[in-house]
A and B are shown apart, each in its own frame.
Chain A
Amino acid sequence: MTGALLEVSGVSVSFDGFRAINNLSFNIGPAELRAVIGPNGAGKTTFMDIVTGKTRPDEGRVLWGEKSISLLRMDEAAIARAGIGRKFQRPTVFEDQTVRDNLLMALKKDRGPLAVLFQRRNAADEARVEELAGQIGLVSELSRKSGELSHGQKQWLEIGMLLAQDPRLLLVDEPAAGMTPEEREHTTSLLVEAARTRAVVVVEHDMEFVRRLNCKVTVLHEGAVLAEGSLDHVTANQEVIEVYLGR
């Protein structure tokens, strides 16, 4: 498929003989929102691990961008700098540091040690952080240690850090877990908004949440794509129904 931002094809990975990802292929365009669903252990997180360089696949290709560079030869940091941001299933923020410092660290800037050593606070960064904090509803928490935030706020902080990185592809693993219904709604609009200008892949269990995203859905099962299409289309699929009801 041409014009894809990320092209994953024929990827397989085994852990101690167990095939977590089995000949998986997946494409996403430059400004597209995609939901990935599937039962526990379907390989959704492992898929993100492969794209972000955390796990090396046994076979297959992962190509990125217009020039179709292979991500398999790059390390996690280089992949992140290439424009792929990730939010983890369990919120992982730097709990010992303030919300502001977390966001500042994520801001898209030169990442080399020498450059960072001389990157001092400036008004432009400060303004950008304020703006992001406004988007994720954490303006009044900027000076608090992020370890003191509630679970939902940490989720948002991590989404904020993701936006701060200004990536071309966002991989978002279960963003709504531990959120109240209102918080979920807010999260939906953040993701939909982000997907206007970039590619966003959202893994989520909650069907209501997926429905509100109103986008193409990919169903994973046993490490492979089971069905793809609109939510109504995939939920009408007999195999999908069996997988979800059969467990």
Chain B
Amino acid sequence: MSFLRRNPSVPVFLGLLLVFTLTVTLMSEAYGGGLSTSFVKTLGKTLCLALVAVAMDLVWGYTGILSLGHFAFFGLGGYMIGMWLMYARTEAIVVSSMANAEIPATPQEITDAVGAQIFGVVGSSDFPAIWLFADSLAMQLVLVVAVPGLLALVFGWLAFRSRVTGVYLSILTQAMTLALSLYLFQNNSGLRGNNGLSGLQNLPGADAIPQSVMSVWFLWTSALALGLGYLLAAFVVSGKFGSVLRGIRDNEARVRFLGYPVERYKLFIFTLTAVMAGIAGALYYPQAGIINPAEIAPIASIYLAVWVAIGGRGRLYGAVIGAGFVSLVSTWFTGGRAPDIDLGFYTIKWVDWWTVLLGLSFVCVTIFAPKGIGGLVDLALSRRAPDRHGADLGPDLGSLREKEAEE
């Protein structure tokens, strides 16, 4: 296929992904290896984070829209699948506990009991309207795509149509994220407030399958999603469409004068990446086991931007490297596994200091290596840097697009 030949990084990436997934599988507990189930889950989750990072790279690195809302789409995807997981599993438990009763329970009684189980923590027992389809896996899977997609479509339509760009757009997306997480924190939001949805690691009807095996299944599903997402993203950014996207990033007005409807391109890419983020979230949270509104807080979306910046934006594998590297290192530091450093007068506990370290590395990358870790690949291949005449696309918030030429 000429597409793969023209984008050699795609087959290389897919090959590495396959090798990685196979290696982890063979080393997993399920196959008698030494990797713990929780670590396999961590790796599976990392693949999902890499997928949302690829989406972020599309929207930010290629199109220049610094969205601080993509983790909200990620979380929404998680909530949508979480509703089914929680409903179906609770229903199975209720049915089996009622099976011994003298009089068989009516469907209404079962539903009421499931409602009481799920919403007891927020002092309610009625199903809110948004749980209408929670008993249907197919419907909730549709919602995984539809809810983030529609939200992005409506939000993007309003924002892009009024030509909000740059920092203002970032603030707007952040406001959307904040509003969403604050809403979800409320007990009457219909999604169990700050308790969130839990027990998501237990797939209904799959009690017989040990978590160690389940973790490998999810690893493969996540790898498949990442592979397909990467392929799709590579297809989108290759060829003329990618040219237009990068044109929009560097000089939106000029693209418009060529006759391209810039707003429709932005809306397309914003919505597409929101859907990708939703799918990534729907695969992530069953591995995490729990989702709550704190996951959607704006800081998560900011982290996402940091990953992409550190990995190197404007190249898809950069996003994957950034997400993988930073989130794994972060797991190591915050997991209490990093040795404390005793300075005599003060002990550096990495659990507390990791964020500072991350912030510092972000600043350093911004200043000294604007191409991120992915730039090392250029060094290796000694590819020439484009002469941007000083208008560098450094990963700081302000210098996103080249200064529009003044006429």
Contacts and interface: CB of A to CB of B under 8 A. Distances in A.
A176 B256 CA distance: 24
A96 B253 contact: no
A135 to B, nearest CB: 18
Contacts of B337: none
A149 B214 CA distance: 56
A105 B253 CA distance: 14
Given A92-B405, A97-B246, A147 B240 contact: no
Contact of B407 (A106, A121, A173): A173
A88 B241 contact: no
A52 interface: yes
Interface residues of A, number: 41
A96 B259 contact: no
Most buried by A among B250, B261, B262, B407: B407
B259 A111 contact: yes
B78 to A, nearest CB: 28
A113 B241 contact: yes
Contact of B258 (A106, A120, A145, A173): A106
A81 interface: yes
Interface in A75-103: 75-78, 80-81, 85-86, 88-92, 94-97, 101
Contact of B244 (A48, A90, A105, A161): A105
Interface string B280-295: 0000000000000000
Contacts of B253: 54, 76
Interface in A191-205: none
B261 to A, nearest CB: 5
Contact of B388 (A45, A80, A88, A95): A95
B264 A112 contact: yes
Given A77-B259, A88-B254, A95-B389, 10 more contacts: A49-B407, A76-B256, A77-B257, A85-B257, A97-B243, A104-B240, A105-B244, A111-B258, A112-B264, A173-B407
22 contacts: A45-B407, A52-B257, A77-B261, A88-B407, A92-B405, A94-B250, A95-B389, A95-B391, A97-B243, A97-B247, A104-B240, A104-B243, A105-B247, A111-B258, A111-B261, A114-B268, A117-B236, A117-B241, A120-B239, A120-B240, A121-B239, A145-B387
